[in-house]
């Protein structure tokens, strides 16, 4: 399927005060390409980013979990933002992942991302230490106060060990720079509670929930599968926005085989995304340890599912 390139995304600096989605609707959680020697591949990152934007992505999320943020240095994160900004210009919003388990370090990364040219920040809940909700709230407020950039809060308790409870999100929504949530909580009732009481933009962080979340008032998605299949995922939203809910459902269902193999096969999405991109001849490179590459059988299955989706 061919998807025309999107128009220029809304300005991140003005998004909090308008009804437009703060970062667009269709975002890719982009992998971080490395050379075969394991170094940062800035040229590859620029080429991949350009492809994703031309295929329909409104925004790119850099240095998230899919971007292997735990194993990239602070300097590499800033260099990646600069390279992608140079590659896409103002054709797409750049959201930089800056979340860590350390509030002070997260502030440092937020300031560096702003200086490097990011339009927004993705901040995950502090992980492993499992702070109580008042500490979680204070953490996010400190990050939001540190820069002039809008924030998306990343709620993924399955990885962090700590939920951003709906009541906490409702309070945080009062902050003028906390404008969005990447939702991986698998709690549709809690999500609807926040949607009903705030103006937070909700982005599906789980690829199988793109249409479900949009149907109850969500904004769009931040997708890992979109690294390889940006067009088919954009088409789900396009069909829904056009009022063709049956077509949107059909397209969501057609993406299930690839989504399942990439996100529910027992391997991290970073590993499967890079394996598939590599087979497609696109910039990706190896994963950094402790992650290990996908085997031939897994990669063959990913390619078959991708080709089936692309032909649909």
User: Could you give the angle at the alpha carbon of 118 between the alpha carbons of 236 and 160, nearest 5°?
Assistant: 70
Residue 144's alpha-carbon distances to 1, 119, 122, 244, 276, in angstroms, are 39, 13, 11, 38, 36
Residues 6+ apart with CB under 8 A from 24: 6, 9, 10, 57, 58, 59, 92, 93, 220
Give the tokens for residue 270.
Answer: 């970073």
Contact (Cβ atoms closer than 8 angstroms) between residue 162 and residue 131? yes
Query: Which amino acids are annotated catalytic?
Result: 154, 182
The distance from CA 101 to its chain's CA centroid, rounded to whole angstroms, is: 19
Residues 6+ apart with CB under 8 A from 73: none
User: Could you give the angle at the alpha carbon of 40 between the alpha carbons of 299 and 84, nearest 5°?
Assistant: 95
The whole-angstrom separation of Cα 227 and Cα 134 is 36
């Amino acid at each position: 399927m061919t998807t025309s390139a999107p128009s220029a995304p809304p300005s991140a600096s003005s998004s909090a005060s308008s009804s437009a989605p703060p970062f667009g609707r269709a975002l890719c959680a982009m992998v971080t390409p490395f050379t075969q020697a394991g170094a940062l591949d800035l040229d590859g990152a620029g080429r991949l980013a350009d492809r994703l934007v031309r295929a329909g992505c409104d925004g790119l999320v850099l240095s998230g979990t899919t971007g292997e943020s735990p194993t990239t240095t602070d300097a590499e994160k800033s260099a990646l933002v600069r390279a992608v900004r140079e590659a896409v210009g103002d054709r797409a919003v750049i959201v930089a992942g800056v979340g860590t388990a350390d509030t002070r370090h997260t502030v440092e990364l937020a300031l560096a991302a702003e200086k490097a040219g990011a339009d927004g920040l993705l901040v995950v809940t502090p992980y492993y230490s499992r702070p109580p909700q008042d500490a979680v709230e204070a953490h996010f407020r400190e990050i939001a106060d540190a820069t002039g950039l809008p924030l998306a809060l990343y709620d993924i308790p399955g990885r962090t060990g700590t939920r951003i409870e709906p009541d906490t999100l409702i309070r945080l929504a009062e902050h003028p720079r906390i404008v969005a949530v990447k939702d991986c909580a698998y709690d549709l009732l809690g999500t609807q509670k926040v949607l009903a009481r705030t103006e937070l933009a909700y982005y599906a962080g789980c690829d199988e929930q793109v249409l479900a979340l949009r149907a109850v008032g969500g904004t769009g998605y931040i997708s890992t599968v979109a690294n390889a299949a940006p067009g088919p995922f954009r088409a789900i939203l396009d069909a829904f926005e056009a009022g063709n809910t049956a077509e949107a459902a059909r397209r969501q269902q057609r993406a299930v085989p690839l989504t399942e193999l990439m996100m529910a096969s027992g391997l991290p999405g970073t590993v499967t995304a890079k394996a598939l991109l590599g087979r497609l001849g696109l910039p990706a490179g190896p994963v950094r340890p402790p992650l290990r590459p996908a085997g031939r059988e897994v990669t063959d299955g990913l390619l078959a599912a991708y080709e089936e989706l692309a032909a649909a």
